[in-house]
């Protein structure tokens, strides 16, 4: 199973980037072929239809293909103002925009249709980014994704990781692992269908 793992943050000490590293390791341990994506490695401008009319940016085209190639995704989203961040929204907006005149990428949902997605979040607050998940899930459903019902919101994230970026609490590990396992199981079942 090919799994794409990424965080909706580029901050160096991001709790969600730490959480993404942890779930990537869990997915590998579960036998998956994992691509751990860092959104900051791609040059993606703010979405603008006038800019797009001059040509879809090359890094957007690379990401369209990368997302398409992975039947399962694990997304770790921060919570900004009770929702998911602009980085994540902007990326998904670009990826879902059809490339006019392109026989392959003129389908706006080609990159996302049928993907099984696990949603996790981490936040210094007690809710762990739960409100960001409540906004992100409808967007993923609109993109024709299958969203795993098992999610995880890691609260008090400032004390949740050790100096090496690993989760310290066994219950947190178990909850994150349950999301990974459900995504791998469901994606495997859908590929057999």
Conformational region of residue 91, where left means phi above 0, alpha means psi within -120 to 50, and beta covers everything else: alpha
Closest by alpha carbon to 183, among 18, 17, 31? Answer: 31
**pTM of this structure:** 0.96
**Inter-CA distances, 103 with 24, 26, 63, 85, 114, Å:** 33, 37, 17, 31, 20
| Structural domain of 84 | 2-192
Q: What is the pLDDT of residue 191?
A: 85
DSSP state of 105: T
pLDDT-derived band at 53 (thresholds 50, 70, 90) equals: very high
Name the domain count of the chain. Answer: 1
Instruction: Find the CATH number of the domain harbouring 92.
Output: 3.40.50.360
Q: What is the pLDDT of residues 139-164, one digit of tens each?
A: 999 999 999 999 999 999 999 999 99
């Amino acid at each position: 199973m090919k799994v794409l793992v990424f965080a909706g943050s580029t901050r160096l000490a991001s709790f969600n980037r730490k959480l993404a590293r942890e779930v990537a390791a869990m997915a590998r341990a579960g036998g998956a072929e994992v691509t751990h994506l860092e959104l900051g490695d791609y040059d993606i401008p703010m979405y603008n239809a006038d800019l797009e009319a001059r040509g879809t940016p090359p890094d957007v085209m690379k990401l369209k293909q990368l997302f398409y190639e992975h039947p399962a995704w694990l997304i770790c989203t921060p919570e900004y103002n009770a929702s998911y961040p602009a980085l994540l929204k902007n990326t998904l907006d670009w990826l879902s925009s059809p490339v006019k005149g392109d026989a392959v990428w003129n389908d706006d949902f080609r990159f996302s249709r049928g993907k099984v997605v696990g949603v996790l979040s981490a936040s210094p607050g007690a809710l762990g980014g739960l409100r960001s998940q409540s906004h992100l899930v409808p967007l993923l459903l609109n993109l024709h994704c299958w969203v795993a019902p098992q999610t995880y919101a890691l609260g008090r994230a400032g004390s949740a990781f050790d100096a090496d970026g690993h989760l310290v609490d066994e219950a947190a590990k178990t909850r994150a692992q349950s999301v990974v396992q459900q995504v791998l199981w469901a994606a495997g079942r859908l590929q057999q269908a």
